[in-house]
Structure 1
Amino acid sequence: MPTRFAASISPSQEPSQHVAALARRGVQRRYRRGALLIQEGETGDTLYIVLEGKLRAFLSDENGKELTLGVYGPQEYVGEMSLDGGPRSAHVEAMAPTVCSVVSRDQLLIYISEQPEFAFELMGRLIRRARLATESARSVALIDVYGRLVRLLNQYLDKALEPVAQERRLRERMTHQQMAQHLACSREMVSRLLKDLETGGYISVRDRWIWVLKPLPARW
């Protein structure tokens, strides 16, 4: 089974009117879970805008190891890195049944000529992704696994839900394997750390949802 770990995960962004308008110019396509939309190294000139579902961008080596670069949901897009005419820089697969609007490079350039402010939005997203990648690399290099776990749990706390007696739930169900992909460690390490936190009364697992019961200690 491939070993997978993640460098970063894309944060949710406010829906963009430009992205919605550009999506209407593309061709809608449906992809089953696990379908490979983009292969690293291939030549491509299309942008994939997610309408429904979720995509994962990742790198892999000949031994089956994978490095997740980002996860993208509705109103986000992938494939823009190859619009300069270069080869694709990563693989992209559907994490769930997904609907995308596939926009050609020509259509994108026409849209930018009509709406030049969208070029700044495009650059802004590229910059944010670069910063996320830099922060993730720093985290993996300089912070221990427990410290990365605390950051991940705090990052995923659902701020939209009112706390129950100061308890907060993560905004997504995450398996131990998925968490290990974000932390660049083994699933066994995640399981051991979560068990210790649960025993210490810091977290609780209810119906496969993780709840943080009180502030997590900075060190373990």
Structure 2
Amino acid sequence: SVLWMIPMNYMDEWIQNYRSFRKYVFSSYQTRFDELLETIDSITFLNLYDRLYKYLLDKKQATKSYEINMSHEQIAQHLNTSRVVVSRLLKQLENEGKIELERNRISIL
């Protein structure tokens, strides 16, 4: 990753004078805002089972892989819950044929 530190006076000038830069900045803000709203919506309206399954599907899409290499503890930390609850729900998803569990690996079917 590359991180650029741009002084505010340049940012203001570039946003005013360069349409493509302005479009890029606002598009980036919009993307992050949409992600924030989706997270709030998920926390507010989905139960933990649905949040976990959505989390796994989002990970699959982000990594472009059907396999997720994470421990139950790591997933629990991301979802702000306990490992025991995540393990129980993952087992339920496996019993329903939605995933396959291995040590530190989850395959999405």
Report if TM-score (shorter chain) is over 0.5: yes
**Residues 101 and 196 of structure 1: CA distance in aligned 2, closer, same or farther (over 3 Å):** same
**Residues 111 and 204 of structure 1: CA distance in aligned 2, closer, same or farther (over 3 Å):** farther
Out of 14, 18, 31, the residue aligned to residue 112 of structure 1 is 14
Match of residue 62 from structure 1: none
Structure 2 regions of 5+ residues with no counterpart? none
CA root-mean-square deviation: 2.9
**Residues 175 and 207 of structure 1: CA distance in aligned 2, closer, same or farther (over 3 Å):** closer
Question: Is 2:77 the partner of 1:187?
Answer: no
Q: Please state whether the residue corresponding to 2:60 is helix, strand or coil.
A: coil
TM-score, normalised via structure 1 length: 0.40
**How many residues are aligned here?**
107
Deviation of 1:180 after TM superposition, in Å, equals: 2.1
Structure 1 regions of 5+ residues with no counterpart? 1-50, 52-99, 162-168, 214-220
Cα separation, 2, equivalents of 1:140 and 1:107: 38
Question: Is 2:17 the partner of 1:121?
Answer: no
The AA in structure 1 aligned to 2:22 is A
Deviation of 1:108 after TM superposition, in Å, equals: 4.7
**Residues 136 and 160 of structure 1: CA distance in aligned 2, closer, same or farther (over 3 Å):** closer
Deviation of 1:129 after TM superposition, in Å, equals: 1.2
Question: Is 2:59 the partner of 1:153?
Answer: no
The AA in structure 2 aligned to 1:135 is E
Cα separation, 1, equivalents of 2:23 and 2:53: 34
**Contact 2:100-2:106 at 8 Å conserved across structures:** yes
**Contact 1:203-1:210 at 8 Å conserved across structures:** yes
**Residues 175 and 112 of structure 1: CA distance in aligned 2, closer, same or farther (over 3 Å):** farther
Q: How does 1:3-22 map to 2 (within 5 A)?
A: none
Q: 1 or 2, which has the higher strand percentage?
A: 1
TM-score, normalised via structure 2 length: 0.73
**Residues 107 and 206 of structure 1: CA distance in aligned 2, closer, same or farther (over 3 Å):** farther
**Contact 1:140-1:184 at 8 Å conserved across structures:** no
- Choose between structure 1 and 2 for higher RCO, CA contacts under 8 A separated by at least 6 residues: 1
**Contact 1:140-1:183 at 8 Å conserved across structures:** no
- What percentage of aligned pairs have identical amino acids? 27
Deviations along 1:87-107, whole A, 9 cap, x unmatched?
xxxxxxxxxxxxx43423158
